[in-house]
Amino acid sequence: MTQLADDALHHAALDARMVKVARGIRLLNMVSWAASEQKRFCAGFECGDVTLPMHVYPKYDFTEERRELEAVEKEADPDHPLGHYVCDSARSWGIACELLENLGTPEVMRHSIRLFGRPDEPLPGGGPTTREAAHHFIDIANELDKELLAPSEQVQISATALQLQLQASLDDFFNQRVIEVVLDPELIAKAAAGATRIRLRSSAAFNDYDRHQLLEHEAFVHSLTALNGREQPQLQSLSLSSPRTTATQEGLATFAEQITGSIDIERMKRISLRIEAVSRAMEGADFVEVFRYFLEMGNSTAESFVSAQRVFRGVPTTGGSAFTKDTVYVRGLVGVHTFFRWALRERKLRLCRLLFAGKMTLADVQRFEPMFDCGALSPPRYLPQWVSRANGLAGMLAFSLFANRIRLDQVMASEGLFEMQ
């Protein structure tokens, strides 16, 4: 037990050094564009003046940070659960430094792929590629008649109204003001979440699905894992959004939308269109061509710019390069869904709850199990309702496990029509 405590303290000290460096590596903030660029481009587009935006990035030098991260990695024990985590995390932050030092060049894509993967990679389990899965969701969404939408789904909600609604729901969840919802006129994305603050783009219009998605995705996954990570006595980095945890975090957040009925086919289409757009940019499409692709797929001018901007963060807008983060959503969703089903089969649903103890990967939570058992890591303080109610979660997963054994094509081939005997 003494050796275990010594190992934990050793890696906690290394983690603290890593956190000191990582707090200055704000990857997504540093690659994003200002909202003024959207206004400029959209105003020009409306007047028939369509030119490539040429975002100018600042020059960064992370030499000292990379040196410290390399030192942390060398001193960690890769055979220890905490050491393995520290090694992988330090390496991930180091890659993020390299990416940021090359902003505005095609080299960014190479580092982006190292962090987030690419759309032509197969999904977990050796199935179809991420891009093929995206085509599946796009095709289904295009086939469905939008006139089937309920009237409540078509009512727009202003950012101000949504701010009040979300704030009331969050205050009720915590029984106090823990997370503040604020309006941000400079935000390009519709929303962004931190540990104690959720920002909404002031000019954006939302709907009822957006409200539920923001609660389940942003607040009850991204914010809760950050808050729970702050409670950790050993690994403070579990409160930070490390690049290596992005696929699991976004997959968990999207799974939360799915399991609570907060996701709609249009949301799956938006995620999938971005994956296809990343593929097209990598194949040579420039910013304007990607922007027009989103327009052709039914998006507004403003939202088409926002989506195209996501694809070209950090890379030249002339085509042939892309920022590949948006490929993680579908891959992460499939991975998390598979993990939850595996956890039920192996009688390890506890790991699904422990996944909320901080920002970690699916592999991390499995390696950390003995660390939770001995008290080196703390269980999550906050859990969304769908995770804390284990019986309901088990019921859904049990049905999913069984249903996946049924081949739909064989049912239709043998029966022709569904008959309930």
Q: Which two tokens stand for residue 33?
A: 């564009």
What does the pLDDT read at residue 409?
60
DSSP code for 238 = G
pLDDT at 352 over 70: yes
Q: Quote the pLDDT of residue 1.
A: 44
Average pLDDT for the chain: 90
Q: Can you read off the two tokens belonging to residue 221?
A: 């996954």
Q: Starting at the edge strand that comes first in sequence, how are the strands of the sheet with 191-193 ordered?
A: 180-184, 197-201, 191-193
According to the model, what pLDDT value does residue 418 have? 46
Would you say residue 198 has pLDDT above 60? yes
Angle, alpha carbons 227-338-378 (nearest 5°): 30
Q: What pLDDT is attached to residue 421?
A: 46
In the block, tokens 């490539």 appear at 52
Residue 124 main-chain phi, psi, to 5 deg:
-50, 135
- The pLDDT score that the predictor gives to residue 183 is 95
Q: For 127, phi and psi rounded to 5 degrees?
A: -85, -150
Higher-pLDDT residue of 412, 265: 265
- Among 270, 252, 255, CA closest to 207: 270
pTM reported for the whole predicted model: 0.90
